[in-house]
Amino acid sequence: MTDSFERNAAVLKSRWPDVFARLQTEDDASSQAELVEGLQSTLRINGIQLTSRHDRLAEARLQAASLPPGSEVLHIYGTGLGDLPRVLLEDHGAARLRVHILNGALFALVLTLTDQDDWLSDPRIELAYAADHAEIRFPFFALPAELELADENNARIRDRLVSEVHIHFNNREFDPQSPEIVQRLEESFSLVSRDPDVAQLFGSQAGREIYVIGTGPSLEQHFKKLLAVRGQVQRPLFICVDTAYRPLIAQGIVPDLVVTIDQRISERHLPAADSENIRLVYLPLGDPQVLSAWQGERYVAFSPSPVYAQLRQRIQRGMLAAGGSVIHPAVDLAVKMGATQITLFGVDFAYPMNKSHAGWHAGELGGTVDQARQWVLDGHGQRVRTQLNFRRYLGELERYIQAHPQVRFLNSSRAGAMIAGATFNEAFVQ
């Protein structure tokens, strides 16, 4: 053992014996690391440079400047080479500094190579694994390299950090002042003002099981069983998202309700033919021509999005949850209709079987699997390819499930992302 490790270990054993014990069980990451030299030196792990190789102190000060001054507690996600904790302890004046480990093997390696006992010994420091907390803490700074290097144990917190960091970028196309949005809301106003309120559906299915059907690739595994269930006299209610409607109809599976929220949904996704017995729940950004062509009953819903702030002042309609995907209001509708048990189909947030969607060709609904550079853990505990927005949608659904403990959530497949708070429906899981 190096002298650095002995000094670091002495502090850890004294202050955080449980963390130290876990660090000792981590895999050896030395084979993945290489020294990078510049004006200073740093480590490169799996091709990702941990810090600046020229001026680590300047980099840490730039990172520290993004945190609000005067905070009693600050949170750092990732340990790096200890530069950011040192700067914050010296310059920022926080009463407490909580450091959350995103990659245990990486931190164990750093402890063997470099002195970290100076900041670890400071009484203002608290140290834990990021995954020890179910939710991210504010205010925080997440070290960029370790958002890429986060290990599987801490992947869920990693995803929520990335979502929070990207939130303003993700919301850029939903500017309430955007001419396209203003025009669309004006075009749909007459339809919205006369169609019934989605709140009329709330409580109408108290105690009934509801199937919420997305368009993930795993949906294709269940077409035969869903068709059989649909033919039963006593059966769950079927709610599907807009892009799942056409694949279901092609298999003879007629949903009870369809939920649509996106201004880009066209007649290609929601063909109106033979829809007279299917209810449609929509948000006002939907294409008025597509909505008005629907032959079945239509119901208007709003979301908490600022996009609908002015419209909510003009018209009163029921609210459905928002989370970036149509799956979130579909799930919320099921809960507000009174479901006590919800089984999720095709809610994968990933590309299992190297496919993007059930019933659609690659690229028809957006990105393709070849563009997927991220990963989540599937129901088998294995990595499956995904993309950033899918990880954000997953995190928002998990938050929703956690906030509704009165409802039992089940997942129909292990092929897609593991959904925290949802167990598996053994009648469907393969």
From first to last of its 430 residues, what are the pLDDT tens digits of the chain? 578 999 999 999 999 999 999 999 999 999 899 999 999 999 999 999 999 999 999 999 999 999 998 889 999 999 999 999 999 999 877 789 999 999 999 999 999 999 999 999 999 999 999 999 999 999 999 999 999 999 999 999 999 999 999 876 555 556 777 889 999 999 999 999 999 999 999 999 999 999 999 999 999 999 999 999 999 999 999 999 999 999 999 999 999 999 999 999 999 999 999 999 999 999 999 999 999 999 999 999 999 999 999 999 999 999 999 999 999 999 999 999 999 999 999 999 999 998 989 999 888 887 788 888 899 999 999 999 999 999 999 999 999 999 999 999 999 999 999 999 999 999 999 7
Helix runs in 258-326, H state only: 288-293, 309-314
Are residues 229 and 309 both part of a single domain? yes
Are residues 264 and 393 both part of a single domain? yes
Are residues 135 and 246 both part of a single domain? no
Are residues 279 and 240 both part of a single domain? yes
CA angle 224, 225, 226 (to 5 degrees): 95
Quote the strand ranges of 91-183, DSSP E. Answer: 96-101, 125-129, 140-142
Q: Which of 251, 246, 257, 256 is nearest to 226 (CA)?
A: 251
Q: Which domain holds residue 22?
A: 3-165
276 in a domain, yes or no?
yes
Are residues 295 and 351 both part of a single domain? yes
429 in a domain, yes or no?
no
Quote the strand ranges of 191-335, DSSP E. Answer: 209-213, 237-241, 257-260, 279-282, 298-300
171 in a domain, yes or no?
no
174 in a domain, yes or no?
no
What's the confidence (pLDDT) of residue 261? 96
Are residues 202 and 258 both part of a single domain? yes
What's the confidence (pLDDT) of residue 95? 82
234 in a domain, yes or no?
yes
What's the confidence (pLDDT) of residue 93? 72
Are residues 154 and 188 both part of a single domain? no
Q: How many domains does the chain have?
A: 2
pLDDT above 90 as % of the chain:
89
416 in a domain, yes or no?
yes
Are residues 299 and 227 both part of a single domain? yes
Residue that finishes a domain, picked among 165, 196, 227: 165
Distance CA 39, CA 297 (A): 68
Are residues 61 and 130 both part of a single domain? yes
Residue that finishes a domain, picked among 130, 165, 200: 165
Are residues 157 and 224 both part of a single domain? no
Are residues 154 and 206 both part of a single domain? no
Half-sphere exposure of 26 (CA within 13 A, CB side): 25
Kindly report, residue by residue over 375-418, the tens digit of the pLDDT.
Answer: 999 999 999 999 999 999 999 999 999 999 999 999 999 999 99
The answer to whether the Cα torsion of 404, 410, 160, 366 is positive or negative is negative
pTM of structure:
0.92
Q: Which amino acid is at 194?
A: R
173 in a domain, yes or no?
no
